[in-house]
Chain A
Amino acid sequence: MPFNILVLTCVTYVALLFLVAFVAERRAGIGRARWLRSPAVYTLSLSVYCTAWTFYGAVGYAARSGLEFLTIYLGPTLVFIGWWWVLRKLVRIGRKQRVTSIADLISSRFGKSNLLGVIVTLLSVVAMTPYIALQLQSVTQSFGVFASGTPEGWALPNRDATAIWVAAGLALFSILFGTRKLDAKEQHHGVVTAIAVEAVVKLVALLAVGGFVVWGLADGPSDIFRRITESPISDWELQPDRWFGLMFVSAAAVISLPRMFHVMVVEGGDESHLGRASWAFPAYLMLMSLFIVPIAVVGLERMPSSANPDMFVLTLPLQEGQGALAMLAFLGGFSSATSMVIVEAIALATMVSNHVVMPVWLRLRPDVAMTGDVRGVVLMARRVSIIAILALGYGYYRMSGGSTALASIGLIAFVGAAQVLPAMLGGIFWRGASRFGAGLGLLMGLIVWAYTLFLPSFGDDGVIPAHVFALGPFGIGWLRPQALFGVSGMDPLVHAIVWSMVLNASAFALGSIFSFPGPVERMQGAAFVNVFDEDQTGPQGWARGKAEPETLLMMAGRILGEEPALGFFEAEARRQGKAGFLPDATPEFVELLERRLAGSVGAATAHAMISQIVGRAAVTVEELMAVANETAQIMEYSARLEAQQDELTRTARQLREANEKLTQLSIQKDAFLSQISHELRTPMTSIRAFSEILTEGDLPPGMVAQYGRIIHDEAIRLTRLLDDLLDLSVLENGTVQLNLGLANIQTLLDKALAAAGSTKPERVFTIIRDLPSENLFVRTDADRLLQVFINLISNARKYCDSDSPELKITVRQRAGRVSVDFIDNGKGIPKESQAIIFEKFARLSDQSRAGGAGLGLAICREVMANLGGSVSYLPGQGGAAFRATLPLRLDRKLA
């Protein structure tokens, strides 16, 4: 097949993937992506487990070691059909804690420790580099097959150049769809959809080749069965240690490989999808491995003995002249490699940016959380990380020379990834797991894995000198890399698995047992282990009230983007029952915000950034107790009771106050009733007495006139009293007719002062006024307002007990309202009476001095209410002070 057509097909296929990813991203952007989040897509995205190692390497593996390759798929099958044990919990924790990567999970669980995040990141990058190199190698090899195996006879231009082009293309794709936005949930619809498409392609391709082999080259299943028995593959013997060890390691890897964790927990994160995948993903694996042995058997039969069994999937159809089928197989292998590299690069880049770049950057420029463009930095860090990771993979490929069998590289990576397992499982099932233990276990695992498996994979004298293999470092025999503690004769891989896992898990367990976790750690531990307790109200680590919501909003805006941050804050404010954009910085809110930020930059970084604003997380002894045992619920209950009790106390106090006021009023009303009868009775008595005298006749005309005047005066007094009472009832019912017009305050005050002068005319008052400020026109009922002014001035004249009485009148205008203050220099009104002076019949001093019925201020209050204003007592003015407030323009509607 001409090279140009091959390249053209590749480019077309990649363009198609770009298109699929682009469309998916667009549809997700407009919220029409429900099918993107279906269980089917979820299951297909999980198939990044099947890399080029499966597609090409499994056949080679089967050709070399028979059925052993199946262990790599049986282990994950067990994990998935047992999803109720581990996966369900992982996914739930991932969703609740907004975990962004496996390093983030570990770091978040163990007290948001960034050191652990760094260790896991380092481990992952080191372990995955050869794995990425393996993908580049397989793609390059598959190009090479087309190059050499065709009659047209073109030579592959340059092996390294091919690999570098592939690496660059993959980096571009990952950057375009993996780091376009900094999503709070770290989901990339475009990537997931493209991977689902690739999953279908690789399955179809492998099944097509398998079908061709079974029914095209052989004579159906029974013939294949016979050929398997006759082929050299049957000489294979099952090695129990490898069988068990590989199954274990692949089961561990399927949850702890960064890319698997990414698609399973970070991108997916729905338990119902997981339920479907629990059988669909094993089914996918089974279909993928169904034809591996037949292809290997027929390949061994038909291909020359020099042929690389890793490439049988491709070379077999090619040799049989099935160009189209070979092309399909090529695309299948291409898909396997690319999807793995893309997801792995994104997952690793997320780790590197969140756990290495961001903390360093925040350390160097602590003020940056508030001022800098954090989003830009995070995205740039991820892009650079993707490029760096692919460069590492390419470098490894160049260094190793692409000679090693695919399977062995993959297994080294699996064992490396599995080192996270003890800390992860311990973290989600054991509250006692501590940061110290996890760190110790991870480091131990990393070291043992590197020493016994990873470094030896470079060969004798590669990194470790040959004499160390034979005699141990410095001649210490029990430290030989492939015979630790003198246990020699083991399969090197099983040896590495056993020792790394045993030492790792023991260090983890012992470290946890002999250390004491910090407060945040214990809280996170409880939150992770008890993730299924729905009503769990985790105690908050943030002290109350130290953070300004505005500062938090600014920081959130730098990470989440302005609009999403504003939306989030507004929603939270509404939830707290507040208007506007700024919720109170309650511990709950800060916790929620931290979790949200953690979805973008990882738990440790988010914690560090919030700490800069809120101050250190303060955990009180009481909160620790809440973590330590089940008293949390009781405490919460008692807190609730306390709150209720507080409320009851408040209500009771209000009731008591109301009651006091009522009692006082009732007493006053009784007093008033006797007073009013007295008031009515006094004039009535004199009217009766004088009218009796008049009816007797025989009086001089002067006396008659005098008595008549007395009667008349008394009648007027009676009428005024009754008028007041009537007036009050009209005002209170709101049925008063207002006569609206323009009135000048100054004129009104002049009139009022003149009219009130008749009250105690013997007292000389000094009136202090500011005439210019009084020159205000208001639209109101002038007569009623005048009535109020007269009343207030008269009161001052009546009650001010100063020797040189003064009355200060101040007029102010503010925001469409006018206030007039009347302040005298007397004793004022005692505090306890201020509440009742505006009540009807209220009277403070003894009635002889007052000479009124106690209705004046009550009428004033009602008048002002009818004028749309109010009258109130101003405390603390050095004397009795009243403020009448009214609108500048009174609308008729209000009147």
Chain B
Amino acid sequence: MARRVPLFLKRRSYRRRRLRDAARLLPVFGAFFFLLPVLWSPGESPAPDTASDGLYLFVVWFLLILAAAALAPGLDGGADDDGTEP
């Protein structure tokens, strides 16, 4: 019995699925921003930039946590795991 997945979803289910996509993307963005210092740091910078680098990392970190906290409540509690609900 093949499960029928309707072509279009209700607005709420649609939003929930996009929320999951966002949750999957979040670590990818995080990884990019955490690895970004690799690109600029090895270059011979004239002034020591450890403090500003640290500040940058903590700001990214903080924003990621905020984003995860914003996404989390919408993610759990969804009964349908793969979005079968029309």
**A-side interface residues toward B, CB under 8 Å?**
66-67, 70, 74, 77-85, 225, 228-229, 233-240, 243-244, 247, 271-272, 274-276, 278-280, 282-283, 286, 290, 293, 532-534, 633-634, 637
CA–CA, A275 and B78, complex, Å: 12
Which residues of chain B have C-beta atoms less than 8 A from A247's C-beta?
A: 34-35
Q: Is the CB of B1 within 8 A of A637?
A: yes
Which residues of chain A have C-beta atoms less than 8 A from B55's C-beta?
A: 225
Could you write out 8 A-B pairs with CB less than 8 Å apart?
Answer: A78-B31, A229-B50, A239-B42, A243-B38, A247-B35, A275-B73, A286-B61, A637-B1
Partner of B76, one of A70, A229, A244, A272: A272
**B-side interface residues toward A, CB under 8 Å?**
1-2, 20, 23-24, 26-28, 30-31, 34-35, 37-38, 41-42, 47-51, 53-55, 57-58, 61-62, 64-69, 72-73, 75-77, 81-82
Q: Is the CB of B20 within 8 A of A532?
A: no
CA–CA, A234 and B28, complex, Å: 29
Partner of B75, one of A275, A293, A633: A275
CA–CA, A271 and B78, complex, Å: 11
Q: Is the CB of A240 within 8 A of B1?
A: no
A671 to chain B, nearest CB (A): 55
Q: Is the CB of A237 within 8 A of B42?
A: yes
Q: Determine the residue in chain B with the shortest Cβ distance to A274.
A: B76
Q: Is the CB of B54 within 8 A of A234?
A: no
Q: Is the CB of A532 within 8 A of B34?
A: no
CA–CA, A279 and B62, complex, Å: 10
Q: Is the CB of A77 within 8 A of B35?
A: no
Given contacts A290-B58, A532-B81, 16 further A-B contacts (CB under 8 A): A70-B54, A78-B31, A82-B28, A228-B54, A238-B38, A243-B37, A271-B76, A275-B73, A275-B75, A278-B72, A280-B69, A282-B61, A282-B64, A286-B58, A286-B65, A633-B2
Which residues of chain B have C-beta atoms less than 8 A from A243's C-beta?
A: 35, 37-38
Q: Determine the residue in chain B with the shortest Cβ distance to A225.
A: B51
CA–CA, A78 and B61, complex, Å: 10
CA–CA, A79 and B76, complex, Å: 17
Nearest first, the 5 A-B pairs at minimum CB distance are A82-B27, A234-B48, A279-B68, A238-B41, A275-B76
B34 to chain A, nearest CB (A): 5
CA–CA, A618 and B35, complex, Å: 51
Which residues of chain B have C-beta atoms less than 8 A from A534's C-beta?
A: 81
Q: A74-B34, A633-B1 are in contact. Are A228 and B72 (CB under 8 A)?
A: no
CA–CA, A282 and B69, complex, Å: 10
Q: Is the CB of B38 within 8 A of A74?
A: no
CA–CA, A238 and B30, complex, Å: 18
Which residues of chain A have C-beta atoms less than 8 A from B20's C-beta?
A: 84
Which residues of chain A have C-beta atoms less than 8 A from B76's C-beta?
A: 271-272, 274-275
Q: Is the CB of B75 within 8 A of A81?
A: no
Q: Is the CB of B68 within 8 A of A282?
A: yes
Q: A84-B23, A237-B41, A247-B34 are in contact. Are A228 and B50 (CB under 8 A)?
A: yes
Interface of A is mostly: helix
Q: Is the CB of B30 within 8 A of A78?
A: yes
Q: Determine the residue in chain A with the shortest Cβ distance to B44.
A: A237
Q: A228-B50, A279-B69 are in contact. Are A78 and B1 (CB under 8 A)?
A: no
Q: Determine the residue in chain B with the shortest Cβ distance to A238.
A: B41
CA–CA, A690 and B5, complex, Å: 92
Q: Is the CB of A229 within 8 A of B64?
A: no
Which residues of chain A have C-beta atoms less than 8 A from B27's C-beta?
A: 78-79, 81-82, 85
CA–CA, A757 and B11, complex, Å: 93
Partner of B37, one of A238, A274, A275: A238
B59 to chain A, nearest CB (A): 11
Q: Is the CB of A282 within 8 A of B65?
A: yes
Partner of A67, one of B26, B53, B66, B81: B53
CA–CA, A85 and B24, complex, Å: 6
A727 to chain B, nearest CB (A): 61
CA–CA, A280 and B38, complex, Å: 27
Which residues of chain B have C-beta atoms less than 8 A from A236's C-beta?
A: 50
Q: A77-B64, A229-B48, A272-B77 are in contact. Are A67 and B42 (CB under 8 A)?
A: no
Q: Determine the residue in chain B with the shortest Cβ distance to A226.
A: B51
Q: Is the CB of B61 within 8 A of A233?
A: no
Which residues of chain B have C-beta atoms less than 8 A from A533's C-beta?
A: 82
Q: Is the CB of A240 within 8 A of B61?
A: no
Q: Is the CB of A234 within 8 A of B50?
A: yes
Q: Is the CB of B1 within 8 A of A77?
A: no
B22 to chain A, nearest CB (A): 9
B63 to chain A, nearest CB (A): 11
CA–CA, A541 and B62, complex, Å: 49
Q: Is the CB of A67 within 8 A of B57?
A: yes
CA–CA, A225 and B55, complex, Å: 9
A831 to chain B, nearest CB (A): 47
Which residues of chain A have C-beta atoms less than 8 A from B23's C-beta?
A: 82-84
Q: Determine the residue in chain B with the shortest Cβ distance to A80.
A: B68
Which residues of chain A have C-beta atoms less than 8 A from B72's C-beta?
A: 275-276, 278-279
Q: A78-B30, A81-B68, A532-B82 are in contact. Are A233 and B35 (CB under 8 A)?
A: no
CA–CA, A292 and B39, complex, Å: 24
CA–CA, A279 and B64, complex, Å: 8
Q: A67-B54, A286-B62, A293-B54 are in contact. Are A84 and B75 (CB under 8 A)?
A: yes
Q: Determine the residue in chain A with the shortest Cβ distance to B70.
A: A279
Q: Is the CB of B65 within 8 A of A81?
A: yes
CA–CA, A67 and B61, complex, Å: 14
Q: Is the CB of B34 within 8 A of A78?
A: yes
